[in-house]
Amino acid sequence: MPIIMTVDPRSGVPIYLQLIEQIKRSIALGVMATGEQLPTVKQLALDLTINPNTVARAYRDLERDGVIETAPGRGSFVRSDGAAVESAQTAASDVARENFENAVREAKSLGLHRAAVASLFGAALDRWLPEER
Distance of closest approach, residue 108 Cβ to other proteins, in angstroms: 8
Q: DSSP H helical segments within the chain, as ranges?
A: 15-28, 41-48, 52-64, 83-109, 114-128
6 is an interface residue for other proteins by CB under 8 A:
no
Secondary structure class of 82 (helix, strand, coil): coil
57 is an interface residue for other proteins by CB under 8 A:
yes
11 is an interface residue for other proteins by CB under 8 A:
yes
Cβ neighbors of 9 (< 8 A, separation 6 or more) are 15, 50
12 is an interface residue for other proteins by CB under 8 A:
yes
**φ and ψ of 72, to 5 deg:** -55, 130
59 is an interface residue for other proteins by CB under 8 A:
no
Distance of closest approach, residue 109 Cβ to other proteins, in angstroms: 5
9 is an interface residue for other proteins by CB under 8 A:
yes
10 is an interface residue for other proteins by CB under 8 A:
yes
What H or E segment, with its residue span, contains residue 77?
Answer: strand 75-78
C-beta of 20 vs 85, nearer to other proteins: 20
Burial of 37 (0-12, 13-18, 19+ CB in 10 A): middle
> Which parts of this chain interact with other proteins (CB under 8 A)?
9-17, 41-42, 45-46, 49-54, 57, 105-106, 109-111
